[in-house]
Amino acid sequence: MTNIGILNNPTRFLFFTGKGGVGKTSLSAAVALSLVDLGKKVLLVSTDAASNLDEMLGVELKNSPVPVPNANGLFVLNIDPDNAAESYRKRVIDQMSYDSSEDERSNVREQLSGACTTEIAAFDEFASLLSDVNKEYDHIVFDTAPTGHTLRLLSLPKAWAGFLKDNDRGASCLGPHSGLKMQEARFLLALKALSDTSQTTIVLVTRPEKSAMEEVSRTSDELKTLGLSNQRLIINGIFKASDPKDIVATSIQNLGLKAINEMPKSLRLLPIDEIPLRAFDTVGLSGLKALLREEFLIKENPADIPKNSEEKQLGLDVLVDQLAKSNHGLIMVMGKGGVGKTTIAAALAIGLVKRGKSVHLSTTDPAAHITGTINGSMPGLLVDRIDPKVETQKYIDKIMERKGAKLNAEEKALMLEDLKSPCTEEVAVFHAFSKIVSEAQNSFVVLDTAPTGHSLLLMDATGAYHRQSIRDLSKAKMDLKKIVTPLMRLQDPLYTQIIIVTLPEITPVSQAAALQEDLRRAKIEPYAWVINKSILASGTHDVLLTARMNGERKQVERIKKGLASNIFILPRQVTPPIGIEVLSKLI
């Protein structure tokens, strides 16, 4: 059995967090299964709106605990944002006066339709697990969303507890304040549990890659400032090449060793577990158990291992040529965390500039790696980010300037207090997003989006704004043909091209497919898929990497046959795709 220290005297609450694509879901499920095998009763909770625990465990996720077949003692729960939000809306509306009119109730329901309500409702479910006094489960394991979204989640107990303290007036974005005030005690209990080192362990998960190490180091520091100091590190997917003459395999091995040897000092001080790269997909109970325990390892049949593909694949150069046929437009790069969205967005932006276009490259990702990926400057390319803190302060200043002039000191203080609500960030980020979307009327805008779950919340806000705008204009009896909302721009295939990025692995492809369905429900049709880090297209003959090709080929065929017709493939790179010169070679 792999000697993994986290299973030695684990705390009751275990939080798995890290950059998207590092294996948080696989590891959290594998640890939960190991705890069950030790005779514990365990609840595995997903806080990721784009979770694929259902596929991994073979059980339908619900917003209440369900038992996992063939894993006695293991229960799984998905904190579904939509269900949580609907439950929250119902509680708020039920608190309204019995003689409230249907118009009044409808108005409150619409006010509570935004992403902020979704977030706080999901957090309310999360906080209830942390403040659980019945201790029905020996352990509660949290499989969290990618880093930026998780930091937001874990900071909410402190943010809302601070906002609610001695505040009996604000928080208009969440409806009747009394309903939120009732939750204050729960928020404080959640904050206490998170900060208690005897109760909670933060499990920082990383791959042996420089960017993942740097992000998890920043996460570690930020969580410490929130009082979450009991941390440990898991380095997942450590690879050793079988043939020193295989350029692709040795480059992967050497980059991994370099990242581990140069990891930030703060991470070196943590307890560390190392997990080797496996030749199989960690889907199903057998695959998950084999991730941590040698006795369950799955052996590949050499006869089933495919040879390298000789089929000609379309690369990013062809995609850029297609996009460059227009003189302007919005290009949104979307997908699960860790699939390489930032790399693809940066490469597309550079490719368009090299084809004579003016490009604004930005990101909505709280983790924001875009500047480090570009690592330079070039004429015709503007690079920046939507910084939630900066945009929130700009929004507050704008509101205070516009509406505060006619208010007295007490009224100004009340307005400012209301704007300190964590909800304000949602509104501010949406306004910044809308502004960037409108820029694509005259030039190219390439937007590197946050991981799937976070991006869908932004899409929810876009939809809510669209519905409110149409409703307001209808009441004012204005011509609806004259209005163009951000959602309408996203729905226009002549204005917006959505690029979905995935890895050729079962989990990223399933999540990309789910993202595509969510977009289609919003009447947004993706333009193309990019399959990143293809081993089949890399030319390697390493034993372990070749074994992994079997799963990759199945996923490529799956995409071609039922998910996308406009497909582009980027091979696994020997050199890290960082810097303008290296990125230019991709396009």
18-31 pLDDT, tens digit per residue, is 877 788 889 999 99
The predicted-structure confidence for 256-315, as pLDDT tens digits, reads as follows 999 999 999 999 999 999 999 988 878 888 888 888 877 555 555 544 544 544 456 789
Assess whether pLDDT exceeds 70 at residue 366. Answer: no
The helix, strand and coil proportions of the chain, stated in percent and rounded to the nearest 5, come to 50, 15, 35
21 catalytic residue (yes or no): yes
Which range of 134-143, 296-305, 331-340, 350-359 scores highest in mean pLDDT? It is: 350-359
26 catalytic residue (yes or no): yes
Average pLDDT over residues 391-400: 84
Whether 516 contacts 526, CB under 8 Å: yes
Give the three-class secondary structure for 361: strand
Q: Which of 21, 256, 337, 340 is catalytic?
A: 21
Query: CA-CA distance, 169 to 585, in Å (whole number)?
Result: 57
Higher pLDDT, 226 or 537: 537
Task: Residues 316-385+440-453+489-585: name the CATH superfamily.
Answer: P-loop containing nucleotide triphosphate hydrolases (3.40.50.300)
Higher pLDDT, 250 or 398: 250
Q: Radius of gyration (Cα) for the chain, nearest Å?
A: 24
384 catalytic residue (yes or no): no
DSSP string of 315-379, one letter each residue = -HHHHHHHHTTSS-EEEEEE-STTSSHHHHHHHHHHHHHHTT--EEEEE--TT--HHHHH-S--T
372 catalytic residue (yes or no): no
Question: Which 8-state DSSP code applies to residue 476?
Answer: T
List the chain domain ranges.
10-295, 316-385+440-453+489-585
User: What is the CATH code for 10-295?
Assistant: 3.40.50.300
Please name which of 458, 419, 389, 360 lies closest in space to residue 116, comparing C-alpha atoms.
458
Query: CA-CA distance, 276 to 289, in Å (whole number)?
Result: 14
Q: Which residues pair with 360 in a beta bridge?
A: 382, 445
Distance of CA 130 to the CA centre of its chain: 22
Distance of CA 79 to the CA centre of its chain: 15
The predicted-structure confidence for 51-64, as pLDDT tens digits, reads as follows 678 888 888 888 78
- Does the model's pTM come out above 0.95? no
Assess whether pLDDT exceeds 80 at residue 474. Answer: no
Structure tokens at 461: 């806000």
Higher pLDDT, 227 or 171: 227
Whether 161 contacts 462, CB under 8 Å: no
420 catalytic residue (yes or no): no
What pLDDT was estimated at residue 205? 94
Sheet arrangement for strand 444-448: 381-383, 359-363, 444-448, 329-334, 496-502, 528-534, 567-571
Q: Which of 18, 23, 329, 335 is catalytic?
A: 23
H or E segment to which residue 28 belongs: helix 24-37
Q: Which of 20, 34, 47, 48 is catalytic?
A: 48
Please check whether the two domains, 10-295 and 316-385+440-453+489-585, share a CATH topology. Answer: yes
What pLDDT was estimated at residue 310? 47
Average pLDDT over residues 144-150: 57
pLDDT confidence bin for 121, thresholds 50/70/90 = confident
Q: Which residues pair with 359 in a beta bridge?
A: 381, 444
In the chain, the percentage of residues whose pLDDT exceeds 70 is: 77
pLDDT confidence bin for 103, thresholds 50/70/90 = confident
Please name which of 283, 267, 198 lies closest in space to residue 10, comparing C-alpha atoms.
198
Q: Which of 18, 19, 20, 24 is catalytic?
A: 24
Please name which of 273, 138, 149 lies closest in space to residue 205, comparing C-alpha atoms.
273
Query: CA-CA distance, 174 to 114, in Å (whole number)?
Result: 9
Assess whether pLDDT exceeds 70 at residue 455. Answer: no
What pLDDT was estimated at residue 172? 45
507 catalytic residue (yes or no): yes
Q: Which of 362, 363, 455, 507 is catalytic?
A: 507
Those residues with Cβ within 8 angstroms of residue 142's Cβ, 6 or more apart along the chain or in another chain: 13, 14, 15, 16, 28, 45, 46, 47
Q: What angle do helix axes 115-130 and 184-195 make, rounded to 10 degrees?
A: 60
Q: Which residues pair with 123 in a beta bridge?
A: none
pLDDT confidence bin for 187, thresholds 50/70/90 = low
Q: Which of 17, 25, 113, 502 is catalytic?
A: 25
Which range of 2-6, 100-104, 390-394, 554-558 scores highest in mean pLDDT? It is: 554-558
The predicted-structure confidence for 236-267, as pLDDT tens digits, reads as follows 999 999 888 999 999 999 999 999 999 999 99
Query: CA-CA distance, 65 to 60, in Å (whole number)?
Result: 11
pLDDT confidence bin for 178, thresholds 50/70/90 = very low
Those residues with Cβ within 8 angstroms of residue 268's Cβ, 6 or more apart along the chain or in another chain: none
23 catalytic residue (yes or no): yes
- What is the average pLDDT score of the chain? 81
Assess whether pLDDT exceeds 50 at residue 482. Answer: yes
Whether 37 contacts 4, CB under 8 Å: no
Determine how many CB atoms are found less than 10 A away from the CB of residue 13. 22
